[in-house]
Amino acid sequence: MPELPELEVTKEFLQEHVVGRRIEKVEVLQPIVVRSLTDLEFTSLEGQAFTEVGRRGKYLIFSLDALYLVINPMLSGRLYFCLSAERRLAKTFVIWHLQSGIDLRYVDERQMGKIYLTPDLSLVPGFAMQGPEALEVTFEAFKERLKRHRGEMKGVLINQAFVAGIGNAYADEILFRARVYPFQRRPGLTGEETRRVYEAMRAVLEESIATIRERMGDQIHLKFRDFLAVHGKGGSPCPRCGTSISEVRARGRLTDFCRSCQPGIMIGHSRSLRG
């Protein structure tokens, strides 16, 4: 799932390369992912130009004349920026043919993402309920917002109503950096641990953005995760202490962590996969 770091760098690239380009044609190849929240069809964008590209949480926002095109890629949605002559992938759902022979394509292997056409961002499902951006919230606001939650820390971090932009992968990285057990319930978190989680959140996201920015180029469809410390590394040695990284399926998601650096006891049913 694309998260804040990938989407932030994608936004930067698109802001530079698609803003000002006229949309010559729109092809909706498979309409299952598109939702018009206005009386207009997606083809009504033909002849218009993107005026700005933004990001809010895990949504990419393309501004046009009096309308927004909002993409929520969910689990497997990807944007491809390529020449119009390039071969289309099987799971290509929408193509915006731009001037100068350039395509912006939406591809989604699991067809879970959504693309909205709307005059009002608040009409997009889930958009208005988002908390502050993870890289914009102050420590005091973070600490106060945290008091409203009583669940496990990983679940709190990926709750978009708490802070916006963090998903499964970067929650693992943040908690590893902070040395906090991912299944630690929030009321048991100490003041020092709260500070560590906040500082780790900022550091992990900022460092990841910098790394992806260096490596992505125009390959905005690629997912760079090999540099992460624990996420996706189940069974590998912990980069901090050498203990085998544990990978657990719990609460409907995979969690990777180090049992030595992040000790704790899970309450409730779970199934360990590695480590």
2 as an active site residue: the answer is yes
Which residue in 11, 55, 58, 177 is the catalytic one? 58
Q: Is there a contact between 159 and 72 (Cβ–Cβ < 8 Å)?
A: no
Nearest Cα neighbor of 170 from 154, 185, 183 is: 154
Distance between CA atoms of 76 and 98, rounded to whole angstroms?
24
**Residue 62: beta bridge partners?**
53, 69
Side chain identity, residue 184: Q
Which residue in 25, 88, 185, 253 is the catalytic one? 253
Instruction: Report residue 61 CA to chain centroid gap.
Output: 13
CB atoms within 10 A of CB 119: 12
3 as an active site residue: the answer is yes
Structure tokens at 220: 């905005």
- The residues that are catalytic are 2-3, 58, 253
